[in-house]
Structure 1
Amino acid sequence: MEDNMELNQAGFDAIAQKLKQLYPKQDGIFYRSIIPYMLGGNDPLDGVEIWKSETGVPHWHYVTYGYSELYEKECEDPAVSGYGFEMTFRLKCGKEEQPPVWPVNLLQNLARYVFSSGNVFGVGHYIDGNGPIALETDTKLTALGFCMDEELREMDTPNGHVIFLQAIGITSDEMEAFMCWDGKKFLEEMSKYSPFGITDLFRSSYMDNPNFYEAWKQGMEQDGSSTGFLYLDEVGAPLDKGRAYLRLGAGHDQILNRMLRARVGKGRNLYLQGTEDVVQFLPGEPHISMGDGVLSLTMPKEILEEICYVLTSHTGTYPLSDYPLTIELVPTRIVDQDGNVLRTIE
């Protein structure tokens, strides 16, 4: 098996050659998976190669091998190699002489998600890390956005086309703002302050920058949101005798308010997924229905505005005036990893 791989690694060699062209005066550091995934190993990627870049500010450039077809062609689509991408990550250099290893683990974790779920990432997508992207560091970056790697971009290999998709560290409030606008445009705006999408673990949120915030606000109001799905754990949505009852955690009011305006307010649907219940918000004439376990709330602009107004309230029960919907806002408890309540939002 190993001999066959050595004899036919055209996809692998194509990526290696492209990287050598970008960094002709150095040798990359390659972290190879000890046990191949196909033989029961835990790491889906064959490996991650790391290069030292002086582009923009000095940083480490991590590039994966394994989302695309590195060896034999197996995917039925001849135009696309494997999942159609490899992933990159750029980390601002500190005082270290050798590249940190944690981004290698981060990239392998992302690959585990893709390989196990079949869900692929693309330009303008995001993923919530539910915690610091670098464990045991004092960073505000808890999520990732994805854009095209500005230098590597895309290429054709003997096994099909591959794009180089770059993961960029973002803060929790940036992720919420990202969701409420067009993800691709959000990252393009962010690139004005972080050229080449270099992740700086110790930066503050760009939402605190007045110029960035104003550009985001204008873009959201003009374009609406490209994200049609929102997950919140505290969601209840029964329908009883023609009246719907929507239960929400009070701590999620701001993001849902923004998403409703950026989606339904722009004539688009929004799916709200809870741990058990699903709600679909739609623009149109007033109507409420339940089908296949999904509560559908169709509403004109005036009802949307009333819902958004209610979402700014404190905990309590709020029946809408001219629409058969009652909204209940319940306390949201913020807990640590051990389940201890840190604070309660009411």
Structure 2
Amino acid sequence: MSQEEVEATGWDAINEQMNRLYGEQEPKHYGTLIPYGLGGKDPLRGISAYKAEKPYPHWHFVTYGFSELYAKESSDPEYSGYGFELTLRLVRAADEEEPPAWALNLLQNMARYVFSSGNIFASGHYLDANGPICLGADTKLTALAFTDDPELPAIDTLNGRVEFLQMVGITADELEAMTTWNTNAFLHAAEEELPYYITDLLRDSLLLVPGIKDALRTGIERDGSSTGFFYVDQLEWEPGKSRLFGKAPAVLTMGAKQAEMVAKLLSARLSKGKELALISQKLRVILEPSPETVFGEEEQTVRIGLSEAAVRELSAILQPIEGEYKLSSGKGLIVRVNKTYIKDQDGQVVETIG
């Protein structure tokens, strides 16, 4: 075996799994001319697209580059690189010979996010795209969910473990359902309507299906929410201050875009005895069940204990509308909601919430 063959073991391990599914089919492969490490704009070394026929025609994409494709470079012996590769299944027209370019761009954009932030994806994660997953398309799919590819189990390579995470296009209300319940549980409940979790830009919301909506309601009542961490763009904390005739209440500030979801998560998490962590780049706010409303502050972390009455009240009154929300059951706390401005790739405001 030559040195080149040894260094390509990670790439070969991915090919072996795809060959197991598609035999001798030659995929459409899109490589990167200038490696990311040498100044190229695309982090992935390549993307392959296979023609799949079951349960109906679709493209099956797989990435090369989140894991270590050549020699082992990371110090983690258990995982290869980031420990996963992404896949995507996309509806394919019968006469379609080339996969759509937007899907390739989307996969590279996911890689840019991971490579620049260091944040990795895992089964059960989700991501709000703040707009159509295919820019300019007339589609209701505005977010992404991540789950295990139904045909590609995790593999152990010479460079470590690699999982195959399938990216699934979802609607805004499906994102809300997964946030307030559980991503994989929701997708499992939708398997009949969404076989192999194939992304179809033209489909409607799965929550229009009575059986899925019933499964969601039952699941939330039984399990609460699996979302222990919720990322928010705007998050600020002002501790209460002493003044001449008493003490000014503490103020928790968040953006309107997240306010409605925080209200739902409060009920789905704290009422089940679970804490909820709100995370921004500079601050972590941990909301937790407590006999009474109390606060605790550490460096870049705030703990807010909420009584059962405060949880019920805040869940009921918090709205995605700019303003201050005062608690009668927790008089030492005000929740302030600011407008959220959604911007496009050029930094222009395209939507204002609140």
User: What is the TM-score when the length of structure 1 is the normalising length?
Assistant: 0.89
Q: Which of 248, 271, 281 in structure 1 is aligned with 2:277?
A: 271
SS class of match (2:138) = coil
Letter aligned with residue 307 of structure 1: L
Task: Tell whether 2:308 aligns with 1:309.
Answer: no
Q: Match of 1:198?
A: 198
The answer (yes or no) to whether the contact 1:48–1:104 under 8 Å persists in 2 is yes
Q: Which moved more, 1:40-49 or 1:324-333?
A: 324-333
Once the two structures are superposed, residues 290-338 of structure 1 have per-residue CA deviations (whole angstroms, 9 ceiling, x without a partner) of 3324332202212211212222597654432242334355574666647
Task: Tell whether 2:163 aligns with 1:163.
Answer: yes
Letter aligned with residue 287 of structure 2: F
Task: Tell whether 2:266 aligns with 1:260.
Answer: yes
Task: Tell whether 2:318 aligns with 1:319.
Answer: no
Q: Distance in 2 between the 1:14 and 1:289 partners? A: 49
Structure 1 segment 275-290 matched on structure 2, within 5 A: 278-286=284-292, 287-290=294-297
Taking a change above 3 Å as real, the CA distance of residues 334 and 14 of structure 1, as seen in their structure-2 partners, is: closer
Taking a change above 3 Å as real, the CA distance of residues 279 and 49 of structure 1, as seen in their structure-2 partners, is: same
Q: Which moved more, 1:290-299 or 1:99-108?
A: 290-299
Q: Match of 2:75?
A: 76
Q: Match of 2:252?
A: 246
Task: Tell whether 2:92 aligns with 1:93.
Answer: yes
Give the CA deviation at 1:125. 0.9
The answer (yes or no) to whether the contact 2:46–2:63 under 8 Å persists in 1 is yes
Taking a change above 3 Å as real, the CA distance of residues 59 and 190 of structure 1, as seen in their structure-2 partners, is: same
The answer (yes or no) to whether the contact 1:251–1:331 under 8 Å persists in 2 is no
Taking a change above 3 Å as real, the CA distance of residues 300 and 335 of structure 1, as seen in their structure-2 partners, is: closer
Task: Tell whether 2:34 aligns with 1:26.
Answer: no
Unaligned runs of 5+ in 1: none
Task: Tell whether 2:304 aligns with 1:297.
Answer: yes
How many percent identity over aligned positions?
43
Q: Distance in 2 between the 1:128 and 1:162 partners? A: 25
Q: Match of 2:132?
A: 132
Q: Distance in 1 between the 2:226 and 2:67 partners? A: 27
The answer (yes or no) to whether the contact 1:279–1:297 under 8 Å persists in 2 is yes
Q: Distance in 1 between the 2:104 and 2:300 partners? A: 40
Q: Match of 1:143?
A: 143
Q: Which moved more, 1:71-80 or 1:17-26?
A: 71-80
Task: Tell whether 2:231 aligns with 1:231.
Answer: yes
Letter aligned with residue 134 of structure 1: C
Give the CA deviation at 1:240. 2.0
Q: Distance in 2 between the 1:70 and 1:331 partners? A: 45
SS class of match (1:132) = coil
Q: Distance in 2 between the 1:63 and 1:341 partners? A: 32
Q: Distance in 2 between the 1:15 and 1:218 partners? A: 39
Unaligned runs of 5+ in 2: 242-246
Number of residue pairs aligned between Structure 1 and Structure 2: 343
Q: Distance in 2 between the 1:169 and 1:182 partners? A: 16
Letter aligned with residue 305 of structure 1: R
Taking a change above 3 Å as real, the CA distance of residues 72 and 341 of structure 1, as seen in their structure-2 partners, is: closer
SS class of match (1:161) = strand
Give the CA deviation at 1:37. 2.0
Give the CA deviation at 1:133. 1.1
SS class of match (2:271) = helix
Give the CA deviation at 1:274. 5.4
Taking a change above 3 Å as real, the CA distance of residues 282 and 33 of structure 1, as seen in their structure-2 partners, is: same
Q: Distance in 2 between the 1:192 and 1:97 partners? A: 27
Q: Match of 2:57?
A: 58
Task: Tell whether 2:178 aligns with 1:172.
Answer: no
SS class of match (2:97) = coil
The answer (yes or no) to whether the contact 2:323–2:338 under 8 Å persists in 1 is no
Letter aligned with residue 290 of structure 2: G
Q: Distance in 2 between the 1:288 and 1:23 partners? A: 57
User: What is the TM-score when the length of structure 2 is the normalising length?
Assistant: 0.87
Q: Distance in 2 between the 1:124 and 1:204 partners? A: 22
SS class of match (1:106) = helix
Taking a change above 3 Å as real, the CA distance of residues 65 and 336 of structure 1, as seen in their structure-2 partners, is: closer
